[in-house]
Amino acid sequence: MISEPLRQALDLGVFWEYRQVLFGGLAFNAGIFVCAACLAFAIGLLAAILRNRRGRVSRGLGALYVETFRNAPDYVMLVWVHLVLPIMIGLLIGKRLEFPPFLSAVIALGLVYSGYLAETIRAGLQAIPRGNLEAGRAVGMSEFLILRRIALPQALRRMMPEILNNLVSLFKATTIVSLIAVPDLMYRVSMVTQQEMQPLPLYTGSALTYFVVVFCVASLARLIGERWRRSVLM
Amino acid sequence: MGGNWERLVWNQREALLAGFGVTLECCAYAFGGAILGGLVLCLARLYVPWLRPLAIVLIEFFRGTPIFVQLVWVNYVWPEVLGWPTSFFAAAWTALALQSSGYLAETFRAGIEGVPRGHREAAMAVGMSRPQIFRRIVTPQMLIASAPALINQFTVIVKSSTLVSVITVPDLMAQALRIVNRTYEPIEILTATAFIYIGFIFAVSTLANMGAARLRRKLGLAD
C-alpha cells in the first residue's frame, strides 16, 4: 500500500543509529545561535538608538546600516564574511588572515539579524508616550539617563514578543552554516548520507528534527509573548 | 583595484545577468506558488472542517522548518517518493513556495478574519450569496490588508533563493561562486553580488510599499 520509497523515507532506523553524531550537530546550531543572538542584540540596540536620535547624520548612518543588513540575504553575507572579510582585515593589518567557520557564521548571522532587531527595537522606542520622555527631561536627566532608565526598559518590554520572533528566525537561519563546513546537524547528515547512501530517511529525519525543535521553541516564544503582553502591557 | 573590478565583475556581466534572470524566474514561480498554496491552506483551515487539522499541521510544518532543510528535503526525498519534482529548478521554487505558503496562509487568515462583520451582514441583507460575498467583499479587503506581508514574503523568497545554488540551480549566487572558484579573487565579485541583492531587495520593497500605501489612500482605507 505504501510505496517502497515512502517506506524507506519513513524508516528512520538509520537516523536513530547515528543519533549521537547528528544531535551533537544541533549543539553547534545552538552555540552559533547564542553567540549570534548576543552580537545581533548588541549591534541592533546601538543601531536603533542611533536611528532614533535627532541628528540627521546619526539617523542617516543608522538607517544605512539597518537597510543594508536587513535586506542582505543570509547566505550571501555568510560567504562574504567567510571569504572577503579576512582578506580585507588582513590587508589592513598586513597579515594573512583566515576566519574559522564558527566565527564567520556568528559574525554573518549577527550582522544580518542585528538589522531585524534594530527595526524591532526602534519600533518599540517610537511607541513610547512622549510625555514619559519629556518628564525625564523636565527632571533634568541627561539623554543617556533617559535612554537607560525610561526609554529602553519600556521599548524592550513592549517589543519582547517580536524580539522573540526575530530570535526564532535567527535559530532557523543557523542551518545554513553547514555550507561553510561548520559541523552542525545538516553537515553531519550530508556526511552520513555519503557514507550510508540512504538519503531518504536521513533527510526526512533531519526535517522532522528541525521541525520539532523549532516548533517547541516557537510555541514557547509565542506563549511567553502572549503572557508577557497580557501581564506587562495591560 | 579599478582594473580588478572591470575584469572580475564587469566582464562577467553576461554570466551574472543570466544568473539574475534565473533568480527572478525562480522567485516569480515561488511567489505565485506561495500565494496559491497559502490561499488553499487558509481556506482549508477556515472552511473545510475535516481538513482543518491537516491544514494546521502543514502550516506549522512549512513555517517551522528552516528553508535550507526544506530545500534539501524537497530536492532529494520528493522525487523518490512522489516522482516529482523532476528538475532542480522545480525543486527550488517548490521549496521556496512551500515555506512562504505557510506564512501567507496565516496572513490571509488574519485578513479574512479582519473583515468587519457588518460588511458581511450588509452583503447578506442585500441578498448576495456566500461565494459572491467572498469574492466581492472579503477578498479585496483581505488582499489589501495582506499587501505589506505579501511584499515582505517576496523579499524573504528572494533572500532564500540564494540557497538554491546548493542544489545546482544556476542562479546569481551560483554564478558568483563559480567565478570565485575559478579566479580565487573573492572580494570584488562577492561584494558586487551582495550589493546587487541588497539593492534589488531594497528597491522592490520600497517601491512596492509605496505603491501599496498609495492604493490604500486611493481606496480611502485607514492606514
How does pLDDT run across B134-146, given as a tens digit for each residue? 888 888 888 888 9
Q: Could you give the CA distance from residue A114 to residue A106 in angstroms, rounded to a whole number?
A: 12
Q: Cell for B187? A: 572580494
Lowest mean pLDDT among B4-18, B52-66, B96-110: B4-18
Instruction: Write down the pLDDT at residue A78.
Output: 96
Torsion angles phi and psi, residue B128, rounded to 5: -75, 145
- B101 neighbors B34 (Cβ within 8 angstroms): yes
Q: Could you give the CA distance from residue A48 to residue A70 in angstroms, rounded to a whole number?
A: 13
Partner A, chain B 15-74, Cβ-Cβ below 8 Å: 60-61, 63-70, 72-73
Closest Cα to residue A93, out of A102, A105, A85, A104? A85
Residue B190 in contact with partner chain A when CB distance is under 8 A: yes
DSSP state of B134: I
The DSSP annotation for B179-211 comes to: HHHHH--HHHHHHHHHHHHHHHHHHHHHHHHHH
Read off the pTM: 0.90
Q: Could you give the CA distance from residue B26 to residue B5 in angstroms, rounded to a whole number?
A: 28
Torsion angles phi and psi, residue B22, rounded to 5: -65, -40
Lowest mean pLDDT among A31-40, A142-151, A173-182, B27-36: A142-151
Which of B63, B75, B77 is the mutation pick for testing A, counting most A CBs within 10 A? B77
Which of B20, B74, B162, B164 is the mutation pick for testing A, counting most A CBs within 10 A? B162
Mean pLDDT of B54-73: 93
pLDDT in tens, A48-98: 999 988 888 989 999 999 999 999 999 999 999 999 999 999 989 988 889
Task: Report helix, strand or coil for A12.
Answer: coil
Residues of B in contact with A207 (CB under 8 A): 65, 69-70, 73
Residue B155 in contact with partner chain A when CB distance is under 8 A: yes
Question: H helices within B48-185, ranges in order?
Answer: 52-64, 67-76, 78-82, 88-113, 117-126, 130-133, 139-160, 172-183
Residue B209 in contact with partner chain A when CB distance is under 8 A: no
Q: Could you give the CA distance from residue A186 to residue A210 in angstroms, rounded to a whole number?
A: 10
pLDDT confidence of B81, banded at 50, 70, 90? confident
How far apart, in Å, do the first and last CA atoms of chain A sit? 55
- How big is the CA angle at B99 (ends B98 and B101), to the nearest 5 degrees? 60
Which of B9, B26, B56, B69 is the mutation pick for testing A, counting most A CBs within 10 A? B69
**Phi-psi group of A74: left, alpha or beta (phi > 0 → left; psi -120 to 50 → alpha; rest → beta):** alpha
**Which amino acid does the sequence have at A147?**
L
The Cα of A117 is separated from the nearest Cα of chain B by a number of Å equal to 16
Torsion angles phi and psi, residue B204, rounded to 5: -60, -45
Instruction: Write down the pLDDT at residue B52.
Output: 93
Residue A143 has pLDDT above 90, yes or no: no
Mean pLDDT of A217-226: 87
**Which residues, in sequence order, are CB contacts of B173 under 8 Å at separation 6+?**
A73, A75, A76, B19, B23, B162, B163, B164, B165, B193
